Amino acid sequence: MLLRDITVTPAMCGHNSLFVGQVGDWTWQTVSELCGTDAFTARDETGAPTYLAFYYYHLRGSREMHLRRFTFGDRLRVLSACYGYGSESVLTLHRIALAGDPAAEAEKLDPVEFYERPHAGCLYVETFNRWVTRSAQRSNRDLVRSAPVDFRHEHLPILPERYSPRAVYHRARTARTFDEGPAEVVVDGHTTTYRLDPTRDLNGVGLVYFAAYFSIVDTAVWRLWQLLGRDEEQYLRLRLTDERVCYLGNADAGTVLTLTARLRRHADGAEVVDVVIEEQDTARLIAVATLQVGAA
């Protein structure tokens, strides 16, 4: 396990994807530290760059501790652990607590805590990553699996099968949602478009940055909020207590995406938004996201 004491800076918080991106960096750093490879410069057996791509990202919080809770100067304690999924994949768990909170003092992160008994004062993040490389130069389509030659995974603990994310993201691919509970449909199939922007959506190797997907999902949610007559202040007061994203493809700059959003409401008043991202020209499925939101 890897323990970090962090001060929240302006570059890692706000009503945007900055904190999501920071946690992604922690995933890469954790894998580098625990698995014997440098995730930032990794190469496969052919010498080609290989990237620790995000396939599934799950944020789990509470009304007290949620994605938009953090601000300048907050002191955090982050505990991270990796779990083995063979030579081409790895799962990482992060527990994020405010320094001084009793939960921050625990030096172990038990999967039972993460999946069954989370602390209300903690934000939990689960990432499932696969090593990929390009199958064609200058194209972000058809990425293929390719692990670094020095990636070590045999020593990692194995996550109990009941906690495996495989069934979870399989549902996202087939049902276009992560949510299984009965709910009243408030808005069904609100569609809008988004063109991948070369000035903001690509990372340093030219792929669509994984955190950009969160911003794209937020764009769909904001446009849905506008359709409902909700204003900026109502949007900024949202508490995002749970968000899951399954990444199913990458795309090239300039690609037009279709964003289809659905809003449902559970019996307890909690609202759930599903966002499906597809390539407009081909209907190729790019990502599926489900968010649980509530007003402050």
Per-residue pLDDT reduced to its tens digit, 65-86: 988 889 999 999 999 999 999 9
Beta-carbon contacts of residue 272 (< 8 Å; ≥ 6 apart): 179, 183, 263, 264, 265, 266, 290, 291, 292, 293
E-strand stretches of 156-255: 184-195, 238-247
Quickly tell me which residue has 């994984």 as its tokens: 210
63 has a pLDDT exceeding 90: no
> Taking residues 207-231, what's their average pLDDT?
96
> Taking residues 255-276, what's their average pLDDT?
94
Contact between residue 107 and residue 217 where contact means Cβ atoms under 8 Å apart: no
Task: Extract the tokens encoding 51.
Answer: 């990237």
Which domains does the chain possess?
A: 2-164 (3.10.129.10), 176-295 (3.10.129.10)
- The pLDDT tens digits of the residues spanning 151-197 come to 999 999 999 999 999 999 999 999 999 998 888 999 998 999 999 99
pTM, rounded to two decimals: 0.95
242 CB-contact burial (10 Å; exposed 0-12 / middle 13-18 / buried 19+): buried
